[in-house]
């Protein structure tokens, strides 16, 4: 009898996929791998298994195989499958959203800050998936599915798969961390280096379940790596470009807090306080005015590059900073040019 180790990933984009690893018994009889998997993983359809095979998501001894492969004694089978993210009925709602690109396989949108991506406890309606259900309500051939997610109060590029095969092929890229994702973040403080890499396992904060926490010793959480590069310095705050090597929940927010530079106005991670600067009243009022302009963490998913699931060609999408971040940047630019006005 096969021994199965199932790893349902639970961080960032990867929480949208399940990874199953099955070690075959030394006396395993030859059987087609699609049938073998179907008999061992509950609630998985044959079609989902077939799509996984087409996408190269079924591996035997670390090599991709077709669905007609026959398992052998002591084979180690692994499969990555899409994992539904919502437990609730998605009610179509006429909610406007910005489309950057669309074809038969994918939809790329520019998500506004303040929009939840999918229904969940406390957010049963008003989500992007509700908007997509309405947008595709007359097209029975489209089944829009998330392949990654960004936080409610983060703006920027979001990728949607329009069919199961596209979802499965894109899922493999996210699972293997081959997606090219760049974010722009306004953070507290003047970073010492122009560029660098932050590495530290990320998991739930044991003292605050609403926060993610960096475990630098690697004894808990999941491995996470963020590369950053300074784009513009404003003295007490800095605009940085972050490139994700992994995609853990709140990765950028947790990593930057870990190195002492929380995101500007990130209430969950302490960035909604005056953390750097002077004690002058005018300066404090200036910062509070900036908070009013951007009542969220200053984080924007600026670009996304990946291999198109239909054409197998590399594609790239980007979107400029939203108005609230632009306005805050302009105010900080004005501050750095006229510090004397705020320090008296």
φ, ψ of residue 336 to 5 degrees: the values are -65, -25
Specify whether the backbone of 61 is left (phi greater than 0), alpha (psi in -120 to 50) or beta: left
Alpha-carbon gap, residue 251 to 11, rounded angstroms = 9
Alpha-carbon gap, residue 114 to 299, rounded angstroms = 12
Largest CA distance in the chain: 83
**Six token digits for residue 129:** 């998936």
Using DSSP, state whether 168 is helix, strand or coil. Answer: helix
Dihedral sign for Cα 40, 41, 47, 51, please: negative
Element (H, E) at 211: strand 208-215
Rounded to whole angstroms, what are the CA distances from 66 to 59, 112, 289? 9, 40, 59
CB 306 within 8 A of CB 219: no
Alpha-carbon gap, residue 139 to 136, rounded angstroms = 5
* Catalytic sites, residue numbers: 151
Pairing of strands 155-161, 299-307: parallel
Alpha helices in 74-161 (DSSP H): 128-135
**Six token digits for residue 302:** 């600026």
């Amino acid at each position: 009898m096969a021994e199965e180790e199932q790893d349902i990933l639970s961080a960032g984009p990867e929480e949208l996929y399940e990874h199953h690893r099955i070690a075959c018994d030394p006396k395993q009889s030859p059987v087609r791998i699609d049938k073998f998997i179907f008999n061992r993983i509950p609630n998985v359809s044959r079609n989902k298994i077939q799509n996984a095979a087409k996408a190269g998501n079924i591996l035997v001894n670390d090599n991709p195989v077709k669905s007609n492969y026959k398992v052998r004694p002591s084979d180690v089978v692994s499969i990555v499958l899409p994992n539904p993210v919502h437990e609730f009925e998605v009610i179509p709602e006429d909610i406007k959203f910005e489309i950057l690109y669309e074809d038969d396989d994918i939809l790329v949108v520019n998500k506004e800050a303040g929009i939840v991506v999918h229904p969940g406890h406390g957010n049963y309606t008003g989500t992007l998936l509700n908007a997509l259900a309405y947008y595709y309500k007359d097209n029975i051939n489209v089944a829009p599915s998330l392949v990654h997610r960004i936080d409610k109060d983060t703006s920027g590029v979001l990728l949607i798969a329009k069919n199961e095969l596209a979802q499965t092929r894109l899922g493999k890229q996210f699972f293997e961390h081959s997606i090219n994702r760049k974010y722009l973040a306004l953070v507290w403080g003047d970073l010492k280096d122009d560029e660098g890499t932050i590495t530290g396992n990320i998991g739930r904060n044991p003292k605050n379940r609403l926060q993610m926490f960096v475990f630098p010793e690697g004894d808990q959480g999941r491995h996470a790596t963020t590369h950053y590069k300074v784009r513009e310095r404003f003295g007490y705050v800095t605009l940085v470009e972050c490139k994700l090597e992994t995609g853990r929940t709140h990765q950028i927010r947790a990593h930057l807090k870990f190195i002492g530079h929380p995101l500007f106005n990130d209430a969950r991670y302490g960035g909604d306080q005056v953390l750097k600067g002077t004690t002058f009243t005018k300066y404090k009022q200036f910062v509070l005015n900036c908070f009013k302009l951007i009542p969220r963490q200053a984080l924007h998913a600026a670009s996304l590059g990946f291999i198109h699931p239909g054409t197998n060609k590399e594609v790239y999408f980007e979107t400029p900073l939203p108005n609230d971040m632009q306005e805050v940047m302009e105010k900080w630019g004005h501050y750095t040019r006229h510090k004397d006005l705020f320090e008296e």
